[in-house]
Amino acid sequence: MKNIFFVGFMGAGKSTVARNLQKRLKMNLVEMDERIEKEQGMTIPEIFEKYGESRFRDLESELILTIGKEGNTIVSCGGGVVVRPENIEYMKKNGMVIFLSAKPETVFYRVKDSTNRPILNGNMNVEYIGELMEKRRALYEAAADVKISTDGKSIDEITDEVIIAI
């Protein structure tokens, strides 16, 4: 089994579905944000505040190029991983890319109480989420081998769809 990369907007369910999938398939699991926080000894908001977004994107790219080398790994990517074309290229070459999509309203409902997403700090509203999602949509689509809509579905239903698709 090759690697499986989950991409999609914040709150699309990447981490939860990746964890659920790992319980059902014998594969390794990497949650990119968690790994970066562990390696840096800082939270994502602290990294953004101290070094800025572009340093965070560098860390993300460095990580994605090293994980999944041995294959058989489920990777829950950060929502912005698709902004660097080399990340997309790497994922497509080294595994299957699954784009989990969700409507802006669904994303807002899922992330509204979260304080660990600096991109949405001060912009926690449906309009902003919708605009940023539109800006990124073509990138998610370009990366995707499979696209699964998550609106109104349970984690198990989404996981079943993933298993059918892979």
Instruction: Point out which residues bind ligand S3P (CB under 6 A).
Output: 10, 14-15, 33, 44, 78-80, 117-119
**What are the distances in angstroms from CA 154 to CA 56, 110, 117?**
31, 13, 23
- The nearer residue to ligand S3P, 1 or 116, going by C-beta atoms, is 116
Is 79 or 104 the residue whose CB approaches ligand S3P more closely?
79
Residue 92 CB, nearest approach to ligand S3P (Å)? 19
CB of 67 to ligand S3P, least distance (A): 14
Which phi and psi angles does 163 have, rounded to 5°? -60, -40
Q: Which amino acid is at 113?
A: D
List the Cα angle 7/163/112 in 5-degree steps: 40
- CB burial string 7-40: b at 16+ within 10 A, e below: bbbbbbbbbbbbebbbeebebebbbbbebbbeeb
The whole-angstrom distance between residue 109's C-alpha and the CA centroid of its chain comes to 17
Nearer to ligand S3P, 1 or 55 (CB): 55
Residue whose CB is less far from ligand S3P, 14 or 22: 14
Give me the least distance between CB of 124 and ligand S3P, in Å please: 13
Least distance (Å) from ligand S3P to the CB of residue 50?
14
